[in-house]
Amino acid sequence: MPNAKVDVVGLGLNATDTVMTVREFPALGGKERVVASSMQAGGQVATALVTCRRLGLKARYIGKVGNDQAGCLQLTSLRREGLDLAHVRVVRGVPNQFGYIIVDQATGERTVFWDRDARLSVQPEELKPSAITSARLLHLDGCDVEACLVAARWARRAHVPVVADLDTVYKKVETLFPYIDYLIASANFLPAVTGHADPCKVLANMAREYRVRVPGMTLGRDGALVYQAGRFYYSPGFVVETVDTTGAGDVFHGAFIYGLLAGWDIQRTLDFSNAMAGLNCTVLGARGGIKSQAEAARLMATGGRHVNPAYRNGLAPVKPLRPASSASARHRV
């Protein structure tokens, strides 16, 4: 049944990554020998959904893959994970989205080079409402903005909450904001969009201007910060032996979705998401270190934290939201 009930439906990117490990990232114009290389499945939404599946949720992926070797690897990976792929389209004669990921062995940090053929874009007319409204939650990355906007509108009308992982300033991506319930963006995304450098001002602005219910951002090793109902919540990152940071944000979002659907409070959800993201960093590849809920719970109970005092001590309640401006109100359903 292509539109059977699922816990989460995701619309967005998949990618096939060539992961290359070097002892240290060279300076511009330099050379460095590759220690190890492998081809692995990744991508923002696809990896978040795989995380959801491994945590026991039913997940549906909506997207496109190329029909090359990389696309076949991605599709095989998603099928093996048990995702509902009834709304995935294989595009003939098109290479799958790819990434070349250089991992610095000394720090575990990665540098990504990528490309995506325009023919892999999902068009609004290719979507089916029932594929969205038969889920308990919709997850987006904003890549194909028009398609994401249509899906988010359907979700809003059906009272399906929308989670978004935004890290690239796509054209017109701001039109999505009023339809997002939980916007957990990368640390660089919201400052670039709003013009505010202060994370607290950025998040308060998203709540006021766009009525995002829970705006937030991931902060790398510092963890994550969100704003909900006039209060900030900060969760420091966990101390782990970092091998590769690839996919940490994607796994964070999958775990965040799990916590929301489990009915956890926001602090527990953030801590769990940080633990899952941290554990994923201990193994090479976007999905290499996706662990169990029990393993995340052990890290939460015993692990050290990268506490940033600027977030722990500097957070104060923000004034209640003012009435929506006419510009903001026009974006509401």
Q: Per-residue pLDDT averaged across 132-139, rounded? A: 98
Nearest to 306, CA basis, from 282, 280, 271: 271
Residues 6+ apart with CB under 8 A from 98: 15, 16, 17, 18, 70, 114, 115
- Which tokens belong to 243? 């091998």
Q: Residue 233 above 90 pLDDT? A: yes
Q: Residue 21 above 70 pLDDT? A: yes
Residues 6+ apart with CB under 8 A from 322: 208
Other beta carbons within 10 Å of 236: 21
pLDDT tens digits, 185-209? 998 899 888 888 888 889 999 999 9
- Which tokens belong to 28? 């511009």
- DSSP one-letter string for 268-282: HHHHHHHHHHHHHTT
User: What pLDDT does 35 receive?
Assistant: 94
- DSSP one-letter string for 61-96: EEEEEESSHHHHHHHHHHHHHT-EEEEEEEETT-PP
- Residue type present at position 107: T
User: What pLDDT does 333 receive?
Assistant: 26
User: What pLDDT does 2 receive?
Assistant: 55
Q: Residue 324 above 60 pLDDT? A: no
Domains of the chain in start order, with CATH, are 6-318 (3.40.1190.20)
| C-alpha span between 298 and 295 (Å, rounded) | 5
Q: Residue 327 above 60 pLDDT? A: no
pLDDT tens digits, 88-135? 999 999 999 999 999 999 899 999 999 999 999 999 999 999 999 999
Q: Residue 330 above 80 pLDDT? A: no
> Would you call 195 helix, strand, or coil by DSSP?
coil
Backbone angles phi, psi at 41, to 5 degrees: -80, 140
Q: Per-residue pLDDT averaged across 159-183, rounded? A: 96
Give 267: exposed, middle or buried? Use CB within 10 Å, 0-12, 13-18, 19+. Answer: middle
User: Would you give the distance in Å from CA 279 to the centre of its chain?
Assistant: 16
User: Would you give the distance in Å from CA 130 to the centre of its chain?
Assistant: 23
